[in-house]
Every structure is written in C-alpha cells, then in structure tokens.
Amino acid sequence: MKKNLSPLLFFFFGHLAPVMGEEKMNVLFIAADDMNCDLEVYGKSQVKTPNLKRLAAMGIRFDNAHCQQPLCGPSRASLMTGLRPDTLNLHTLKHELRLKNPDVVTLGQLFKNNGYFSYRSGKIYHYGNPSMIGTDANDDPATWTERSNPAGIDKTRESEIINFGPNKGLGISMAVWDPISKDEEHTDGMVASDVIAQIEKHKDRPFFLAAGFFNPHCPYVAPKKYFDMYPLEEITIPDLDQAKKDLEDVPPMAYMRDSRNWPYYFPNITVDEARRCKQAYYACNTFIDAQIGRLLDALEKHDLIKNTIIVFWSDHGYFLGEKGLWYKRKAFERSTRMPMLIAAPGFTRGKASPKPVELLDLYPTLADLCGLEPPKNLEGASLRPLLNNPSDPSWKKPAVTQIWHRHNAWGYSLRTERYRYTEWLRGKAGRELYDHSVDQGEVTNLAENPKYQKLVADLSSQLKPFFRLPKEKRSTPPKK
C-alpha cells in the first residue's frame, strides 16, 4: 500500500509522527455538564480547581471556546458528530440523532472502527438529570464498545434534595443538597471509578475512554466537604437593579425565556436562595475537579500520560445571576462560552489560546492527532495549529452559536477574537454587538451605534453563511 501513496500523504503521515510515534495515542475524553468559566483555572481564584490547573499545565487552555447551541442535547450531538445543529436538524432535547442522521459516524464510533476500545460512563449524549441517571437515556450505542450507567445517592435519594423552584422538576431547578458522604457514593464519583477501572483493564491496548460527569447541572448536589470550602457569606449575587439595566439596550428575544419571572427564571426566588444555589454550584465544580484528579492519577500510575491525549470540555456556559439571569440557552458570552482544555503529548504545554474555537473542532482535532481518517463532511477544523502555537495569527475562523426557541424565535451569534455579534431573526428582531476588549460583561450593545455600522455590516456578512435553519423550523407556524 505505501508505494501507492502520494508524496502529499507521505508528508501528512510524517507530520503526525512526532505525536503518534509507532504506537496509537489513547484518548481520555472528560465532560462536565453546565460548567461555566468561573473557575480558578480561568482566573477566578474563588472556585478551586487544582486538577484543572494541573491539566492546563500539561497542555493548552482555550480562553475563547464556544458551543454550537447552549442546550445539552444539540450541543453534545454537534460535538460528537462534528456537525452543526442545523446540519443535523437537531435543536431540542429529543432523542433524534440516528432517526434524522442514520449514517452519521460519531467521534467514538470512528475510534471504535479503527480498533480502539471505545467506552462511556455517565453523560456524553443528553441525559435528563436526575431523571435519566442510571439509564442509557439519549445515548448512541453505535458510538461505544461498552458503556456504563452508574447511579449514586443524587439519584437514589433525590427526595432529600431541597428545591427552591416551585412546581418544577429537578432537571430545571434551583435545588441543593449537601449530604455528609463520600465522593464514590455520588454518580460522578462512580463515573470516575468506572473509567479508572477501564484504564487499568485496557492500559495495554488503544482506548477512547469518555467520563461524562453530570455536575454541576442542577440539582446542585455534592458531598458537604465541598460546600464547606465556600462559606455562604463569601458568595455574592449581582445587584438586581443594576443587573436589569444591562438588558435595557438588548432585543427582547435575547432573554425572552427569562423575562416572565425575572430574575432567576422562577418567581419568588430570594437573593439568599440564589446565593445558596451559587454556593452549591461552586461546590459541584470543585467536586468534579477532584474526580478529574483521580483520572489523572490513574494515567500517571500506569505511565500513560506520555501516550494519552486528554480533553476536558463542558457542553456550554451558565448564568448565575448576572443580568438577573440563570441557566443557559442564551446568546450571551456566559451562556455560549465554556471551559475547554487539551493536553496532547508533543505539543505546547502551559499556555492559553485567545483564538475563537468551537466544540465541533474537537472531532477533527482528535482524528488528526491520532492519524484517523474522519468523515469528509465535518464542519469544524483541527486545532493542531493552536496546539503548536496558541496565538497562531493564521487562525481566522470565528465561533458560531445558535439559539432556537421556536419557529419565530431564533438567532445566530458570531464570536471573533475581539467581538460578539448576534442577529435575531436575521436582524428583523434585533442585533447585538459587544466589544470584549473593553466590555467582557456585554453591558453595552453597540449594534445601533453609527460608529460601528461598517463593522456590523462586515460581521453580518461573516455570519450569513451559517444561516442554515431548516425551513420548517424558521417559518411562522399557521394560526389555529
């Protein structure tokens, strides 16, 4: 076969050699749920993440990483297929990936097809939390060689969780529980134990191991020792009068899901209850960080760091009272941006990249680094250039996120290295422009400022090719 390869292919595979060597690279694929960048590893010293800092020192921290849709189902489906939600025609939490895309080759499936042991424990595709914990939920069996669905006390004793949100299930709640418990009694502790067992079992063959943590998704449940790290008196909530002013120059569609019961999505949630939930959210983040530490320890124990690519990601960001908002499902930075770290042997270590990147870039990146031939239709790009040079000036690709609420309520948001630009109904329902060099909180909407109209036109032109929402999802439904 080799003598039939073109010189270009010889160059390509030679380019991979410093990473691959003669043995296949392993992949440890670590996911958190609803985790934003309020983390020590991203400069917020209050939220303790020593193991994510440890991982960042081993590789690259992406400071400008964004999801394709800030909702668990479509975000995860997009990441696992390397295709945008519009291409998949997936914009809700429904279990429709194979129904609508029967021939798609997922990320784990690509590795499985190439002789890897592909394994999942916990949540990689969408799971209702805690309703679907312990089940296969919306999982894709073709992705994995084997899979596991542990259920800890956050599921088996969910009646003990305190829910501040009235008449809503725990899957969309402001609810907390801080039992005196061991990490391994919780679902996420069990997920870590499962994956550690697979590391030990398969250490001598190539693996793609996915650890899917459910935290910090609501309800916010973690062992009490993590809550104790965040005294309630040190937890602050933005001033609500000032927070509401942030929304005065924003198109109503940008926060339509939250406006009825502003603030915090639910009526009658007090500031003290919101502070309690924020404390719990921080505790859950540190709990997850501890599980990541256990995974890194297992790799080190078996001398696997040298030939394992480690990826950490969350499916989207999260609001914790900023602008009086809570949860995700918005086109603001706090909703679209999430932590993403990659440690790949042979590449740059301990640096951060300011370049805009997307979750769907992970698929082509891992295929590239492991020398696998991916599907031809992937819509992301390999992050290899940024793993070599985190500030590579040739990286010009923006990050694009979309929102879909219903047929006549949707929008697209484009993030460059400096700006965020958003159009609602292609601008018919409003536009937003924020300059992140001076306005990281996205307080001042510049979209209607005459000084910025040339920039608006340019960004609108860049965004236009991404409008691919299927017609049946963008037309106004007929009146009944």
pLDDT tens digits for range 397-407: 999 999 999 99
- Same-domain status, 382 and 404: no
- Please indicate, yes or no, whether residues 371 and 441 belong to a single structural domain of this protein: no
Helix (H, G, I), strand (E, B) or coil at 43: coil
307 & 365 share domain: yes
Q: Which residue has the higher pLDDT, 433 or 169?
A: 433
70 cis-preceded (ω within 30 degrees of 0)? no
Q: Is residue 54 part of a domain?
A: yes
Same-domain status, 374 and 403: no
Which parts of 78-191 are beta strand (E)?
117-122, 146-148, 162-163, 175-177
Residue 313, SS3?
Answer: strand
CA torsion 58-63-69-74 (nearest 10°) is 0
CA atoms within 13 A on the CB side of 137: 26
Entry pTM: 0.94
Residue 378: pLDDT band by 50, 70, 90 thresholds? very high
**74: domain CATH number?**
3.40.720.10
Distance CA 436, CA 159 (A): 43
Which of 388, 412, 434 corresponds to the end of one domain?
388
Q: Are residues 354 and 279 in the same domain?
A: yes
Active site residue 126: yes
pLDDT at 22: 57
Domain end residue (candidates: 356, 388, 420)? 388
Does residue 219 have a cis peptide bond before it, meaning omega lies within 30 degrees of 0?
A: yes
156 with 35, same domain? yes
Structurally, how many domains does the chain consist of? Answer: 2
Cβ–Cβ < 8 Å for 138, 171: no
Residue 168 has pLDDT above 60, yes or no: yes
Active-site residue, from 37, 67, 72, 370: 72
Domain shared by 196 and 332, yes or no: yes
Same domain flag for 203 and 304: yes
Q: Which of 388, 414, 429 is the last residue of a domain?
A: 388
Q: Is the pLDDT of residue 127 over 90?
A: yes
pLDDT band, very low/low/confident/very high, at 165 (cuts 50, 70, 90):
confident
Quick check: is 41 in a domain?
yes
Look at residue 154 in the predicted model and tell me its pLDDT. Answer: 98
The encoded tokens of residue 207 equal 């693996």
Query: Which is the catalytic residue, given 66, 91, 126, 217?
Result: 126
Q: Does 44 reside within a domain?
A: yes
pLDDT single digits (tens) 433-445: 999 999 999 999 9
Same-domain pairing of 379 and 452: no
Instruction: Residue count of the chain, please give it.
Output: 480
121 pLDDT tier (thresholds 50, 70, 90): very high
428 and 317 in a common domain:
no
Q: Write out pLDDT tens, residues 245-263.
A: 999 999 999 999 999 889 9
381 lies in the same domain as 404: no
Q: Give a yes or no: residue 418 inside a domain.
A: yes
3-state secondary structure of 74: helix
Q: CB neighbours of 78 closer than 8 A, spacing ≥ 6?
A: 67, 68, 69, 84, 85, 88, 90, 359, 360
CA distance 151 to 123: 11
Is residue 14 scored above 50 in pLDDT? Answer: no
pLDDT of the residue at 267: 87
Q: Is residue 326 part of a domain?
A: yes
Neighbours of 176 (CB within 10 A): 24
Map residue 413 onto helix, strand or coil: strand
Mean predicted lDDT score pLDDT of the chain: 94
Q: Is residue 198 part of a domain?
A: yes
Residue 478 lies in a domain: no
Domain span at residue 137 reads: 11-243+264-388
Q: Average of pLDDT values for 277-296?
A: 98
Q: Confirm whether 192 is domain-assigned.
A: yes
Q: In this structure, are 304 and 195 located in the same domain?
A: yes
CB of 322 closer than 8 Å to CB of 238: yes
Residue 461 sits in a domain whose CATH number is: 3.30.1120
E strand spans, 103-219: 117-122, 146-148, 162-163, 175-177, 207-212
Note the pLDDT of residue 479: 55
Q: Which residue pairs from 229-234 have beta carbons closer than 8 angstroms and sit at least 24 positions apart in sequence?
A: 229/48, 229/282, 229/283, 229/286, 230/46, 230/279, 230/282, 230/283, 232/275, 232/276, 232/279, 234/46
Whether the pLDDT of residue 197 is over 70: the answer is yes
**Could you confirm whether 72 is annotated as catalytic?**
yes
